[in-house]
Amino acid sequence: MIGRLNHVAIVVPDLDAAVKQYRDVLGADVSSPLDLPDHGVTTVFVNLPNTKIELLLPFGENSPIAKFLENNPSGGMHHVCYEVDDILVARDKLIAEGARVLGNGEPKTGAHGKPVLFLHPKDFSGTLVEIEQV
């Protein structure tokens, strides 16, 4: 059901510093910041030959990652994102298998402009999983 690894997301306390590390120290291609108010984050993508790294910074007072950063002041890995062909088919199969979909179970538009859903970390070895329709 899942396809390729789309990205690994890392919450950072200082987006400018993280961008400089990836761009200037590692020589990576880094996108411009994008504010996603519906998701409560500002995001930057580090483009790699085989996947992407998503750098996340809380955006707004109700950011869902603010608590993560509070508990992990240096930042850290937040989630992994896998591609799926059909997000509704994937969602229904996951639910039938006992996985919990976070939120209201309906896809939201993600940073790539495509439908996404998040799956409960307790169902996936403690890792928050995002699925994205491609």
Structure tokens at 89: 């088919």
Query: With 0-12 CB in 10 A as exposed, 13-18 as middle and 19+ as buried, what is 105?
Result: exposed
Active site residues: 130
Decide if 11 contacts 56 (C-beta within 8 A).
yes
Radius of gyration over alpha carbons of the chain, in Å? 15
